[in-house]
Amino acid sequence: MGIDALIAGWELFGTPLAIAMTIFGCFLGLIIGVMPGLGPLMGIILLLPAVFHLPPVAAMGALIAIFVGGSCGGAVSAIVLRIPGTPIAAATLLDGYPMAQKGRAGEAIGLAISASAVGGIIGGIILIALAPVLADFALRFGPPEYFALTLLGLIAIAVVGREAPLKGFITGVLGLLIATIGTDAISNAQRFTFGHFELSSGFHIVAIVVGLFAVSEVLFQVRGGGLLEAPKVPRVRISLFSLVLLLKHPVNLVRSSAIGTFFGSLPGAGGVISAFSSYAVAKAQARPEDGYGEGAEGGVVATEAANNASAGGTLIPTMALGVPGDASAAVLMSALILFGYFPGPELFEQNLDVAGGMFLAYIFANVALAGLGFLMTPVFLSVLRLRKVHLLPVVVMLSVMGTFALQSSVFDLWSMLGFGALGYFLRLHGYPLAPIVIGVVLGPICESNFRRSLLISRDGLSIFWEREITFTILLVTVLVVLWGLVGKGVSRWLKRQFQRAT
């Protein structure tokens, strides 16, 4: 089915508009990824309103390309300034910055870009191979299975890989509550609208994500100060010799790409865990003279191949099952739903050309990443010299224009500001924002399938343990919850035992 999807999707993707938007999205993603504090999620959010009126594959190509470019762009500032542009680039500075200190900044950036592109392509190949197969298996799913699956996604994103799983659970529940506002899809009753007509359709997803992430980020940057400071960025000359350096690490490259794809496909894991995990494996397999932590080429290859491959892995459950792996995938899923296409088996069964177009967009975005990365690095470095006082007003302007343009609604602007204040308050007290988006996106799907399951059940809740697939998924959900509750303590105990042993 993967090859069939590519053939069907070429008619939609192989147009000048779709290809140009993918290249533009990759370029924009690189720039946003370079700038500390923004990242691919912010880019997807800001561009979503602008591409809303484009053909679906062209629009999704631009958004997916931002995801790809943004996942790589953070490595540039990590290598040059020791400031990761994105959290997933934090592992890259372990060896990237020491390489720059030794006068090899150009080689380090080139190595990061080429490893990201190849890792992303490997992740894309796995995506094309696995997503249709997984979707074909999911054709056996009914409402109980979809309820269990979305419940797993809701729980996993809240408790897996978090420093404070309880806080993640709280914000996930908050997202579910927000999703209940509006008209009930089954009974057509008004819920929590309090007589306000504007709330009959609930809050628009764009107003929610722009407020939570873009507006709250602006408030945080203003609070942090340093608005007039310009970072001192050294001049760097990038060389195609980096491609030769990459060929010296074929096993590391393929292994790290596989690790990144695996962790990316797990809801709640994502690029950060995959980058550090692949780095740990590469370091364990290396020789002492390789000098990991002191400017090792293999360290940069491992982290960058993994974090871009994880982008492809994240799209596997998103497209095949309708379960987003992280906040960026949730926004991509929301965009696809806004265009009238629902991720999951239905997408591959009824709209194979759209799925294939998205596959091609992802692969082409990684190819464009290599070309743009080498050609435009001087531009990306100059972006690092921008002062916050010039950058933040542009973010605010794009947020306001994009949110208002969707429905020409002043209510959406007020919603955006309200969610911005909410996001700022939650971040101030250490609450993660991603579970809110997951709750808003998956909440209605989870609720509707739960109620449909009860409608077709003759014995109430027994339908959830009488069906084997549903029971298995719910059992996995329970294990995820238990791991979220005790996993941190287990990790600390293992760390203490390791320290004693060494």
pLDDT digits (tens, 9 = 90+) for 175-194: 889 988 888 877 778 888 88
Domain span holding position 440? 2-231+238-501
- Neighbour count for residue 181 (Cβ, 10 Å): 18
Q: Across-strand partners of 190?
A: 183
Structure-token pair, residue 138: 């999911």
Q: Which helix (H) or strand (E) holds 448?
A: helix 434-456
CB neighbour list of residue 318: distance below 8 Å, 6 or more residues apart: 324, 325, 329, 332, 333, 343
Query: What is the widest separation between alpha-carbon atoms in the chain?
Result: 71
pLDDT band for position 17 (50/70/90)? very high
Reported as a single tens digit per residue, the pLDDT across 42-83 is 888 888 888 888 898 999 999 999 988 888 877 887 777 766
Q: pTM value?
A: 0.77
> pLDDT value at position 19?
93
Half-sphere exposure at residue 63, Cβ-oriented, CA atoms within 13 angstroms: 30
> pLDDT value at position 70?
84
154-163, 374-383, 402-411, range with greatest mean pLDDT: 402-411
The proportion of the chain whose per-residue pLDDT surpasses 90, expressed as a percent, equals: 8
- Distance of alpha carbon 257 from the chain centroid: 16
The proportion of the chain whose per-residue pLDDT surpasses 70, expressed as a percent, equals: 85
Structure-token pair, residue 76: 């540039």
pLDDT of 499 higher than 60: no
Q: Are 167 and 161 in contact (CB under 8 A)?
A: no
What Cα–Cα distance (Å) separates residue 62 from each residue in 98, 309, 433, 471? 34, 18, 24, 39
Which is higher by pLDDT, 8 or 84?
A: 8
Residues written for the chain: 502
What average pLDDT is seen over the chain?
80
Reported as a single tens digit per residue, the pLDDT across 326-337 is 778 888 888 888
How far, in Å, CA of 329 to CA of 269, rounded? 12
> pLDDT value at position 60?
92
How far, in Å, CA of 113 to CA of 102, rounded? 19
How far, in Å, CA of 21 to CA of 412, rounded? 26
Question: How many domains are there within the chain?
Answer: 1
CB neighbour list of residue 457: distance below 8 Å, 6 or more residues apart: 463
Mean pLDDT of the 427-434 span: 83
pLDDT of 3 higher than 60: yes
What Cα–Cα distance (Å) separates residue 337 from each residue in 88, 319, 323, 344? 27, 11, 13, 11
> pLDDT value at position 232?
63
